[in-house]
Amino acid sequence: MSEDSKDKKSDDPDSWMDDLDDEPEDDASESVSASQIVSDVTVNAFPALKGMLAEKTIIPVKATEEERDVGYSNPSMLPLVGAVIGMGLMIFIWIISIVEDVTGAMVWPIFGLATIMASALIFKFAFLADLMNFGGELFPKMNKGPVPLGGIALAIFCIAATVAIYLGLYAFAGTQGMGLVVGITEVCVLNAMVCTRAFVGDKINKTGVAMSTAITMVSVIVITVVWMLLTGNWDVMFIVDAAAAGVISIVGGFLIGFLTNRVLGYVPDTAAGASVELTRATLMGVIMFLVMALRGRSQPGPPRHPNPFHLHSGSPWPMLRASLPRAGGK
């Protein structure tokens, strides 16, 4: 990669999605094998992760120019960034659940809203900006000069829907359950971003989609297993739900790319960033349905807790919970 191209990419906030077009195109005579995907991920995952974290987030990660180039060249590994952020947010929410258990105070609604903003802040609000610009392109008649009023309205609606669904999910899942939901969502929305941007040209970039999907599935399962270790709740249906969320992110990403192509005749870079926020609200709504449908089933014997996740809002490992002081001296 030339120095000029590196400088150009560094100055372009959408450059890591532009390079999806630079990933290997699928040859009709040569299929993409699982071993090729595994090999690419094994070799490039860590340097690509460092490069993307350093270049596109506020997380203080030191990366060499070579690592940044690997990140630029492998944007389909973007769900790895979501896995790191999602794991961090999940553990943070688990700690909040312990604080709730010790103090007896319900602090999740405040920290839940902060969690929503944290995700946007980590990515320098780039996805919200893309959502507003994307809305401006979809609804040009609503714009007032350079101000994308249509995009602003779309962003407000999307944020309001996300907050409402978050709070609704809390009523069903509790604080610890929300930790799992937030963790897997951060991975899935970035997979949807890759799927949307891959929906360009005459054919879908199957290589990029396959790699992103594989990383997403592994990441959500790892996050779920770590959450199960922290909470002591071993129910295989949580893994099934996480995998279902990964599949939904693929469908959501493709749907946004397809509809955008039908309406505008092309898929702009802003559609990829907008898909993150659009699929976040959609994914949360579907997860709420899964929680209600799958966790609301009647269980043999007396129910342990009315919470569909069968969790107290602050129930870490049983031994740890038993050793903690309680509000009111209980």
pLDDT in tens, the chain (330 residues): 444 444 444 444 444 455 555 555 544 434 556 777 677 777 788 899 999 999 889 999 898 899 989 888 888 899 999 999 999 999 988 888 888 888 877 776 677 677 778 888 899 899 999 999 999 888 888 888 888 888 999 999 998 888 888 887 777 777 778 888 889 999 999 999 999 887 665 555 677 888 899 999 999 999 999 999 998 888 788 888 888 889 999 999 999 988 888 888 888 888 988 999 999 888 877 877 776 665 555 344 433 444 444 444 443 344 444 444 444 544
Residues 198 and 269: beta-carbon distance below 8 Å: no
Per residue in 1-21, pLDDT tens? 444 444 444 444 444 455 555
Q: What is the pTM of this model?
A: 0.79
3-state secondary structure the chain: CCHHHHHHHHHCCCHHHHHHHHCCCCECCECCCHHHHHHHHHHHHHHHHHHHHHHHCCCCCCCCHHHHHHHHHCHHHCHHHHHHHHHHHHHHHHHHHHHHHHHCCCCHHHHHHHHHHHHHHHCCCHHHHHHHHHHHHHCHHHCECCECHHHHHHHHHHHHHHHHHHHHHHHHHHHHHHHHHHHHHHHHHHHHHHHHHHCCCCCCCHHHHHHHHHHHHHHHHHHHHHHHHHHCCCCHHHHHHHHHHHHHHHHHHHHHHHHHHHHHCCCCHHHHHHHHHHHHHHHHHHHHHHHHHHHCCCCCCCCCCCCCCCCCCCCCCHHHHHHCCCHHHC
**pLDDT score, position 80:** 94
Per residue in 62-82, pLDDT tens? 988 999 898 888 888 999 999
Residues 23 and 207: beta-carbon distance below 8 Å: yes
Residues 17 and 193: beta-carbon distance below 8 Å: yes
* Long-range contact pairs involving 316-325 (C-beta distance under 8 Å, separation at least 24): 316/94, 316/97, 316/98, 316/101, 316/230, 316/231, 316/232, 317/230, 317/231, 317/232, 318/232, 321/101, 324/98, 324/101, 324/102, 325/102
10 Å CB burial of residue 328 (0-12, 13-18, 19+) is exposed
**The two structure tokens encoding residue 230:** 């922290």
Domain segments of the chain as ranges: 34-73, 79-319
Residue type, 319: M
**The two structure tokens encoding residue 291:** 């929680």
